[in-house]
Amino acid sequence: MATTKKDPVLVILQLTGANDYLNTIIPYTEPEYWDNRPKVHIPEDQMLRIDDKLAFRPNMEPLKAIYDDGKMAIIHGIGFENSPRSHFRAMDIWHTCEPDVVGTEGWVAKMSRDLDPNGENVVKTVNFGQGLPRALALRGVPVTSVSNLETYGVFSNVPGINAQEERNQLLDRFARMYAPAVGTGPTMDYLGQTGRDALKGADIIKSAPEKYSSTIEYADNAIAKCLRDVARVHLADLGTQVFYTAHGPFDTHFNQPPMHTKLWTEVSGAISDFFADLKEHDAGDNVIMMLFTEFGRRVKDNGTGTDHGAGGVAFVIGERVNGGMYGTYPSLKPEDLSQGDLAPSYDFRGFYSSVIDQWLGLDPVPIVGGKFEQMAFV
């Protein structure tokens, strides 16, 4: 468990669309990498070498600096058996920790429930983005979801809209927004409570931008804005312990080199600015960030990109992180591949368990659905 005076805070960044492991942490000494990537390989003179076997892709300079400073853990070969190679099913599995059945209870929502058993703080967990990820959906657990912090709760300030009109608009909005996460048959009781929680969340969270001041100039892109909003709410000291956001699409079937470059330029810069912002305010010692994606991509390129794969890579970043490599990079040898893909060697539920147990101090077993191998990166 974190030994900080303040409550531990977790930021979860979902790399939506299946990030290409092989072109993120590059096994540049493996001949199979070059043989299988004639069109989509990273030129060796552009790589950012980590050691004599692995390298970061170019455009990840800000993250390499964090790694070199000992504040980033790289988790190799993460995933689960029998990868469906379907975005929707794989993300459901990551969101519910249910690889064998279709789950309905989100792991982040379970975590939020255990952090705030009485549901007293509607901003205990905050999502920045459109809709509500399934990971955050669980009946009875309040979660605040924000698409734009600048305008969140703006109805309260619009002349001519009274409280009842505001409530009706929000209930209608949330009925549409939450349906993908909780299914098509949620009761109006659930939606009504969701709307009431949203109104409470709006009143609480709209004060965050007013309190915020920083010299950090975030870039003008979606993930930079989201992480700036995470910093704003964190610095407002509202009791939020879990932040969730996403960036993508990492689904690089076509035109991968420029797409992947753009995505990692945005993500790397945003993360670097976020932690610099926290450092400026002396507010980063109780924060870690975890990055995950639903699966990796195929070893062999398709001419302009890469298709859906299996084993992937995850990251953990923060002042309290025990940096370095964790796990083993999966073999690229043909006989070791799983249907042409990197075979996962570490169950993602062990990754979750490590964070839940060692950082947040909660029992991971009921959250992830069993006991799984943990790693000591926090």
DSSP 258-285: HHHHHHHHHHHHHHHHHHHHHHHTT--T
Same domain, 160 and 259: no
Same domain, 76 and 179: no
Same domain, 115 and 159: no
Same domain, 30 and 131: yes
Same domain, 242 and 101: yes
Query: What percent of the chain is predicted at pLDDT more than 70?
Result: 86
The pLDDT value recorded for residue 131 is: 79
Same domain, 169 and 248: no
Same domain, 101 and 45: yes
In a domain, 164, yes or no: yes
CA dist., res. 9 & res. 241, Å (int) = 4
Question: Is residue 178 scored above 60 in pLDDT?
Answer: no
Amino acid letter, residue 305: G
The total number of structural domains in the chain stands at 2
b/e per residue 40-61 (b: at least 16 CB within 10 A): bbbeeeebbebeeebbbbbbbe
Same domain, 35 and 98: yes
In a domain, 212, yes or no: no
Over residues 229-267, the pLDDT tens digits come to: 999 999 999 999 999 999 999 999 999 999 999 999 999
Res. 149 pLDDT band, cuts 50 70 90: confident
Same domain, 175 and 271: no
Per-residue pLDDT, averaged over 319-347, amounts to 97
Same domain, 108 and 60: yes
At residue 40, the 3 state secondary structure works out as coil
Question: Domain range for residue 337?
Answer: 9-149+218-368
Task: Give the gyration radius of the chain's Cα atoms.
Answer: 21
Domain end point (choices 173, 205, 237): 205
Same domain, 38 and 89: yes
Res. 301 pLDDT band, cuts 50 70 90: very high
> Residue 57 in contact with residue 24, Cβ under 8 Å?
yes
Over residues 212-226, the pLDDT tens digits come to: 999 999 999 999 999
Q: pTM of the full predicted structure?
A: 0.90
What does pLDDT average to over the chain?
Answer: 90
Question: Is residue 194 scored above 80 in pLDDT?
Answer: no
> Residue 197 in contact with residue 142, Cβ under 8 Å?
yes
The pLDDT value recorded for residue 174 is: 55
